[in-house]
């Protein structure tokens, strides 16, 4: 099922008000109710002056539901006062047509929307809080990747708190794809590149030097490579959400290094929850294809002597050791 999410507009408020009067919605969504309440609650959202973002979900070009997302920390009015994670988001949703309940449409809509939310690198987890008595909604959220947390008290009464951290979204994903990186990916690339650099610094702080702030150093670095015809920067996604990257570049031969012209896999990084699995292999396959497209008949890479896990992974793909770097600190 394919969904699109159009930001709520003032012109949509009449439709939203009518949806909210439908018995299957009203059973679990009792406020706002009147036209005046809808305008008061969602007028600022539609005008973009509220931190909550709301959307009309479309399937096949037809509006089928409503979904909203908000920042959990600092929600106010007694909601989630103990939340300390600025990356936590909350969602609420409903399907507009009662006849579409129980067909997997709601689960697919939620999953697609999570894919949109998790494209923001700042988002760490998404939560929802259906009524403990709304068994259909609870099953739907579980099917979309949420896990049960606890029954909690809220300003609206008891709620069944459910969470889907980013790690869980990637773990429960099904569609892995690799594409060329875009300018809009630079923030992700800067985060991943910094994490890769710090991981190596953890292996040997004297050998691997990381400029700080690392993200600031990596943004222009990747922007330069995206514009380099000799380079290929690839991004892997799981259900549309970025999960890792690879950086391949054509390098001229070197007499000093006794190396022929060819492609070099300079960097590869995959989120921990997807590492060494299908995402890593998909990126390596794409790196092979990029090397061939650059005109190379081989692909070189280097790996830290401390990164045994990565060494085993590359060996399983047919890579062999050709060089051992050594270093001595001078007295």
- pLDDT tens figures, 158-193: 999 999 999 899 888 888 999 999 999 999 999 999
pLDDT of residue 271 exceeding 90, the answer is no
Range of the domain at 252: 176-316
Order of strands, sheet of 53-59, starting from the edge strand that comes earlier in the sequence: 3-7, 53-59, 62-71, 88-95, 125-128, 157-165, 147-154
Q: Which two tokens stand for residue 278?
A: 């299908």
Pairing of strands 53-59, 62-71: antiparallel
Total number of domains in the chain: 2
Q: How confident is the model at residue 229 (pLDDT cuts 50, 70, 90)?
A: very high
Task: Report how far apart, in Å, the C-alpha atoms of 198 and of each of 213, 324, 331 are.
Answer: 11, 21, 27
57 and 184 housed in the same domain: no
17 and 151 housed in the same domain: yes
Identify which of 268, 271, 181 has the alpha carbon closest to the alpha carbon of residue 223.
Answer: 181
69 and 140 housed in the same domain: yes
pLDDT of residue 106 exceeding 70, the answer is yes
pLDDT of residue 243 exceeding 60, the answer is yes
C-alpha to C-alpha distance for 105 and 331, rounded to whole angstroms: 68
Query: For the domain that residue 292 is a member of, what is the CATH number?
Result: 3.40.630.30
- Chain segment 59-84, per-residue pLDDT in tens: 999 999 999 999 999 999 899 999 99
3-class SS shares of the chain: helix, strand, coil, % to 5: 35, 25, 35
Whether 331 is in a domain gets the answer no
* Residues forming a β-bridge with 127: 90, 163
Identify which of 80, 92, 277 has the alpha carbon closest to the alpha carbon of residue 170.
Answer: 277
pLDDT at 241: 93
C-alpha to C-alpha distance for 145 and 48, rounded to whole angstroms: 29
111 and 206 housed in the same domain: no
158 and 205 housed in the same domain: no
17 and 164 housed in the same domain: yes
- Chain segment 123-147, per-residue pLDDT in tens: 999 999 999 999 999 999 999 999 9
Q: How confident is the model at residue 274 (pLDDT cuts 50, 70, 90)?
A: low
Whether 230 is in a domain gets the answer yes
154 and 228 housed in the same domain: no
pLDDT at 321: 96
Whether 325 is in a domain gets the answer no
164 and 281 housed in the same domain: no
103 and 31 housed in the same domain: yes
- In the listed set 171, 198, 218, which residue is the last one of a domain according to the structure? 171
Whether 327 is in a domain gets the answer no
């Amino acid at each position: 099922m394919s969904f699109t999410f159009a930001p709520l507009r003032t012109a949509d408020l009449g439709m939203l008000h009518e949806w909210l009067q439908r018995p299957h919605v009203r059973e679990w969504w009792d406020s706002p109710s009147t036209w005046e309440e809808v305008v008061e609650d969602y007028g600022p959202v539609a005008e973009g002056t509220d931190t909550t973002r709301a959307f009309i979900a479309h399937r096949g070009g037809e509006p089928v539901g409503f979904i909203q997302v908000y920042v959990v920390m600092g929600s106010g009015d007694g909601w989630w006062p103990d939340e300390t994670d600025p990356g936590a988001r909350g969602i609420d949703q409903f399907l507009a047509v009662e006849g579409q309940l129980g067909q997997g449409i709601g689960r697919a809509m939620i999953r697609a929307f999570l894919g949109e939310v998790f494209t923001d690198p700042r988002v760490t987890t998404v939560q929802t809080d259906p009524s403990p008595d709304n068994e259909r909604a609870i099953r739907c959220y579980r099917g979309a990747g949420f896990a049960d947390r606890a029954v909690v008290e809220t300003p609206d009464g008891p709620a069944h708190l459910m969470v889907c951290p980013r790690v869980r979204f990637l773990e429960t994903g099904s569609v892995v794809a690799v594409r060329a990186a875009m300018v809009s990916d630079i923030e992700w690339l800067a985060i991943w590149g910094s994490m890769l650099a710090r991981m190596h610094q953890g292996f040997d702080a004297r050998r691997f030097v990381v400029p700080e702030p690392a993200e600031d150093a990596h943004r222009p670095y990747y922007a330069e490579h995206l514009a380099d015809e000799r380079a290929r920067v690839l991004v892997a996604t799981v259900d549309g959400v970025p999960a890792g990257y690879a950086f391949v570049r054509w390098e001229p031969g070197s007499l000093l290094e006794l190396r022929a012209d060819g492609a070099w896999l300079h960097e590869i990084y995959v989120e921990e929850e997807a590492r060494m699995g299908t995402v890593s292999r998909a990126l390596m396959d794409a790196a092979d294809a990029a090397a061939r497209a650059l005109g190379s008949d081989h692909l070189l890479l280097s790996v830290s002597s401390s990164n045994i896990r990565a060494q085993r992974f590359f060996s399983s793909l047919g890579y062999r050791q050709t060089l051992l770097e050594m270093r001595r600190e001078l007295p």
